[in-house]
Structure 1
Amino acid sequence: MSRRTKRDDDDHPVLTPKEDEAQRGTDPPGSFGHVDLPDGELDPDWQPGQAGDEAESLIKEIGGEHRPRREDVYPYLLIRAFSPGDRGARPTWPPRPCWESPDIALIDAGWTGPYDPSQLVASPTSGRSYRVFVRIWNLGLLPAMGVHVRAWAVNPGFFGGDPSNPAYQPVLIGGAMVHLEDRTRPGAMAVVELDHTWDIPPDLTGHECLMATVSCPLDEWNGVLDANNDRHVGQRNLTILAGAQSAKEMLFTLGAAVTRSGTLELVHGGAAVVPLLRGVLGTTKSEFGSAARLRAPDMKSLRLGVDIGTGRHLLTMFAVEGGWLVADSARVWTLAIEHGLVRDRGRHRTGGDGDGHPFAEPNGSRRLIEELGPDYYGEIGVVVDGDSGSALLEGLLHLWDLQSLDAVDLARAIAGDKPGAHLLRFAHTDPELEEVGGYSLTVIG
């Protein structure tokens, strides 16, 4: 038995050197003689086993299972890019346009009452003033305090978030500060009015792009107006025209915004027009009638374009030797099949390894046109010598056999005499400038 010296502040035994060696393991009971401690060097023939890898994988698996989602810890602010179904995943384009936000709304400044969906203005006009409202969301489980909401106006065109482009310089409209509750409470969503009206100068068109941002100390906006890559940013590049309203000015503006190294593609949005109009106009009667009664066209009955799964691809425009080529998508696709550039007429079969239609990817139609070569430009479209704005107008008049560019004439060219609302999405891609953007025109016939 070990001898012990009792001390007031220590109950541990005092061991003899022999007892200490036995308990430390240098001379354990039952051993014969001296036991050397390991020197720490590995056996030269040693090979690692799988236990370390398995432990690391297990740690990662357990950590992943228990790691909380961002919206479960902090506020998760959002301005929707589209409706319905947007929960903040970015980017959306392609295939979902990022410039059709239903959360930026306008009401004529002559209306002094509270926010009223029946007073919404879908197509503002120059020389007038509008109250600006932004619908914001908090999808997190923590309230958002000190939420800063702002909005800007940008020249109409294909603004893709690059502030260095002199053609697209944002002009601040105004801002507001609010609080949002967590997502379990009704106050997680709010329609916020800005502190200043949007006063459109008479020399502007009224078709300007509107941008809005939302930010708070625990969920900050990064400072870049890029709706495609940041859920804190909403973008509304949208004009709605009906009946005898002319689209000529709008189309010329969009055509003029096409760069020499860029490509303009026009796609019919199909059934997406209904949630878009209901999101922008509400379900009450508006300047275009009741959005609840507006119907999308039967895609099978459309007279133009190529079905690409997410809509119908209508035309492509880009600069070529001698001017601007405006090409009809259906003619391009027919010739591509005839020349074996695509495998077959299957809806989603292509010459590549993927299953998506080649026209569904930005610049996909241009790549096929360039494979066909200049000798076929006359068969697939028209080459217009002049500026790009005039080229788009002349190309549409020629390819679609139009007498005018009124909303009803455009709708009739697309779907005949069948009434409906048509969502025309103009997407511009410029690989040299690394810019991608779009603008949507809805015509109601």
Structure 2
Amino acid sequence: MRPDEPGRGDDQQPDTRPYLCIPYWTDPITDGGSWDDGSRRGLPAQVLSWACPSIHAGDYTPGRPLEVTVEVRNSGGGNAAAAATVVVYWADPTVGFAKPTFFAAATVAAPPDRTTPATATTATMTATIPATAPAHVCLLAVVSHPQDRAGKAADPINDRHWAQRNLMAVAAAPGAPALPRFAVANPRTEPATFQLRAGAVDERRARAAAQATGLELADTGFRVRILDADGAGVAGPGTVAATAVDLEGLERRDFQLLAEVDGDLAAGTAVVLEVLLVTGNGEGDVVGSLAVQLVAEER
């Protein structure tokens, strides 16, 4: 891996190699902070790890062409643009990625931006996700260069080369809980124990997530339960539900989330939940994240 400080080599001499990332923020997220140059991974808690704004997608309908572009930042120490390769994948709603499906690839010339934030945007990539795919899918992107290679694990939270848009919306109402299905996957090749956790997002991040999709944050309580693929309860109910999951390397397992709201959801509002996969007993690295928006039923 490269040193944490862009543009410096192991001996602290100028390093002309590219230092690439798919940025998660452009405005400072803390007082005195800077734009995302990729040096802060795992992602800070303030960042919506499941909603990278540098991945842009058109309207998605299974079986119809989808257009995607990706923004890339190069904070390396050279003077020339780096010819980087960007690959986009898609997957059913998942917390952690093991074997996502190829969508498209493009090259982009990413000039160094040591003094002012700047990004390079890929040409539009167009492909068709099969008609059999679910109504909501995850998009995963990775940028790489021969002198700055991405890690093999698809890790958009801890590897600056990777990023994701991983948010699904489901209808819910009092007495009519949402029951979205999702997968959990170990992105690493070694077996491990994880904590699968679902529950509330703090108000600031929840409001930002709702506004990112043109909604307002709903003012109502909720309860969640984690169910296995057959519908048996494994955790909850409560505002947070958590359970231990043992996964082999790159293993994928199906779950369901049962989410109930206490009050009616007005049109244009949402309750935002977050599903995380965390190493160990829940105190380790977050290696997967998914947002679920509970919205009003269409009438």
TM-based fold match above 0.5: yes
The one-character-per-residue Cα deviations of 1:66-99 (angstroms, maximum 9, x if unpaired) are x994236443211134675444211127675532
In the aligned structure 2, how far is the partner of 1:261 from the partner of 1:178? 36
- Which amino acid letter does the alignment assign opposite residue 217 of structure 1? P
1:91 counterpart residue number = 42
1:103 aligns to 2:31 (yes or no):
no
Match runs of 1:175-254 below 5 Å: 175-183=105-113, 188-195=118-125, 197-240=126-169, 251-254=179-182
Q: Which amino acid counterpart does residue 160 of structure 2 have in structure 1?
A: R
Closer, same or farther in 2 for the Cα pair 1:435/1:137, shift >3 Å? closer
Secondary structure, counterpart of 1:272 in structure 2? helix
Instruction: Give the letter aligned to residue 129 of structure 1.
Output: P
Secondary structure in 2 matching 1:205:
coil
Say if 1:139 and 1:188, in contact at 8 Å, map to a contact too.
no
Secondary structure of 1:99 counterpart: coil
Match of 1:265 in 2: 198
- Unaligned runs of 5+ residues in structure 2 are 9-14, 30-35, 187-192, 245-253
Q: CA deviation at 1:130?
A: 0.8
Task: Tell me how far 1:266 sits from its aligned partner.
Answer: 1.8
Match of 2:288 in 1: 437
Q: Which amino acid aligns with 2:105?
A: G
Task: Give 1:352's aligned residue.
Answer: none
SS in 1 for 2:180: helix
Is 1:425 the equivalent of 2:266?
no
More strand by share: 2
How far apart in 2 are the matches of 1:388 and 1:179? Answer: 40
Whether 1:80 aligns to 2:13 is no
Task: Work out which of the residue numbers 233, 236, 256 in structure 2 matches 1:324.
Answer: 233
1:83·1:102 contact (CA, 8 Å) conserved in 2? no
CA-based RMSD of the aligned residues comes to: 4.2
In the alignment, which of 80, 88, 91 is matched to residue 151 of structure 1? 88
Counterpart of 2:110, as a letter, is L
Give the CA deviation at 1:181.
1.9
CA distance in 1, matches of 2:128, 2:287: 28
**Counterpart pick for 1:131 among 50, 67, 79:** 67
Deviations 1:27-71 (A, max 9, x none): xxxxxxxxxxxxxxxxxxxxxxxxxxxxxxxxxxxxxxxx99423
Larger relative contact order (Cα-Cα within 8 Å, sequence gap ≥ 6): 2
**Cα gap change, 1:223 to 1:263, in 2 (>3 Å):** closer
How far residue 191 of structure 1 moved from its aligned partner, in angstroms, is: 2.0
Give unmatched runs, 5+ long, in structure 1: 1-66, 108-120, 164-168, 282-290, 305-313, 331-358, 368-386, 403-408
- Rg larger in structure: 1
Aligned CA distance change for structure 1 residues 206 and 129 (closer, same or farther; 3 Å): farther
**1:71 — aligned with what?**
7
Give yes or no for contact 2:84–2:145 (8 Å, CA) kept in 1: yes
What are the Cα deviations for residues 99-158 of structure 1, in whole angstroms up to 9, with x where unaligned? 221111112xxxxxxxxxxxxx3xx22111111111111233434421111111123211
- Aligned mates of 1:401, 1:177 — CA distance in 2: 48
> TM-score w.r.t. structure 2 length?
0.67
- Counterpart code for 1:427: L
- 1:71 aligned counterpart, secondary structure: coil
Aligned to 1:214, the other structure's residue is in SS state: strand
* Larger helix share, 1 or 2: 1
User: Aligned with 2:70: secondary structure?
Assistant: strand
Question: Residue by residue, what CA displacement relative to the aligned partner does 1:208-252 show, whole Å, maximum 9, x if unpaired?
Answer: 2211111223322223311122101111111246899xx988x43
Q: TM-score, normalised by structure 1?
A: 0.47
Q: How many residues align?
A: 256
Identity rate, percent = 24
Equivalent position amino acid for 1:154 in 2 = A
Query: Could you say which residue in structure 2 is the equivalent of 1:376?
Result: none
Amino acid at match of 1:253: R
State the distance in 2 between where 1:426 and 1:265 align.
4
- Residue 112 of structure 2 aligns to which amino acid in structure 1? D
Separation in 1, partners of 2:110, 2:118: 5
Question: What is the distance in 2 between the residues matched to 1:203 and 1:69?
Answer: 44
